[in-house]
Structure formats: structure tokens, C-alpha cells
Amino acid sequence: MKWLELFLRASTPTDRFVLGISAAGILSSGWLITSEPGKRAVVFRDNRPVMTLALDQDRKQEVSGRLGPVIIQVEQGRVRLLEYQSPRMIGTRTGWIQGAGRATACVPCGVLVRVEGKQKGSAPSSAHEFDAVSE
């Protein structure tokens, strides 16, 4: 263990303490990065799952809705519905969603997109920190 003897000779106890803290911090940074679970969104047509989208892969995906194609956009871990314009397309009001349990939908198209996982916060109809919004 020649390198260890060299290190002990060349460093003070303070140096070794700082080095230990550094190592602990660097290891914990690895935990910080890797502990966030990968997110996916499930796409439902008439309440039946039709596909799953990984939220870490930016893309535009077309799905078949009751009234024609519906475009789902994934970007930077978020997902939203595009294209279909209707007062009843709740997706246009919801905009981007990303939290687990959040959902966006095109009601007349019968298309619902829900981020997998347990809800942590608001209900899907809410753009704020509410359990629900009455409208």
C-alpha cells in the first residue's frame, strides 16, 4: 500500500477530512441524479390504454381519435395534446402536464393522456395547486 503511505505523508488530517467530505458529496450527487424515477405517460382511447410514451424522449406522436388524428407532444419530460381545436378539448386548457397522476384529454376525441405514478399534488383539471377546479 505504497500509495496510501505516500498519501498519508503528503496530507494533513484536515486534508483528509476535506477529501472525505468531497467523496461523500460526490457519491450523494450520484444518488440525487439517479433517484428520480423515469416517467412515462399512458395514452388511453375510450378509457383503454393504447400506448405508452417515455417522457425522456422528445417526440410528436399521432394517435387515432374518434374525430380523426390527435397529436401528442412530448418535450423535456412534459406532455401535451396538440391540434384539435374545440371548447371541449380539455387538453387546450390544461397545456403541458408532467407530474405523476396528472392527465390531459381531448374529450370529443376520446383521448386521455395520464402521467404514470402516484399523484403528488393537484388533480388533473387544475393548473394551480388545487385538488380540483370547478368550471
Partner 1 sequence: MKPWTRWLGWLGLFGLGMLFLLVSRLPGEPEAEPPLLETRLLMGTLVSISTWGVEEKQAEAAMEQAFAEMSRIEGMMSRFIPTSPVSGLNDAPRGAFHTVPAELISVVSKGLEIGQLSGGAFDIGLGPLSDLWGFSREPPPETPPAPDALKKWREERDRTPGPGIELASDNRLRLTGPAIGLDLGGIAKGYAVERAMEMLRQAGVVNALINAGGDMRIAGSKGGKPWHIGLRDPRKPDGVVAVMDLTGSKALATSGDYERFFMADGVRYHHILDPKQGGSSRSGLMAVSIQAADSLTADALSTAVFVLGESAGLALLQQFPGCEALLIREDGQMVQTPGFVATRSKTP
62 lies in the site for partner 1, by CB under 8 A:
no
Among 6, 23, 50, 54, binds partner 1 (CB under 8 A): 23
41 lies in the site for partner 1, by CB under 8 A:
no
67 lies in the site for partner 1, by CB under 8 A:
yes
28 lies in the site for partner 1, by CB under 8 A:
yes
Q: How far is CA 132 from the centre of its chain?
A: 21
32 lies in the site for partner 1, by CB under 8 A:
yes
Nearer of residues 1 and 32 to partner 1, judged by Cβ: 32
Q: Which DSSP string do the residues of 29-85 spell out, in sequence order?
A: HHHHHH-SPP-EEEEEETTEEEEEEETTS-EEEEEEETTEEEEEEEETTEEEEES--
The Cα 115–Cα 39 span in angstroms is 7
Question: Under rule CB under 8 A, which residues in 82-101 are in contact with partner 1?
Answer: 86-88, 90, 93, 101
Nearer of residues 58 and 66 to partner 1, judged by Cβ: 66
Nearer of residues 74 and 104 to partner 1, judged by Cβ: 104
3-state DSSP call for residue 95?
coil
DSSP state of 97: B
The Cα 19–Cα 108 span in angstroms is 61
Angle of CA points 134, 118, 85, to nearest 5°: 45
Interface with partner 1 (CB under 8 A): 15, 18-19, 21-26, 28-29, 31-32, 44, 46-47, 67, 86-88, 90, 93, 101, 103, 105, 107-108, 110, 112, 114, 118-121, 123-135
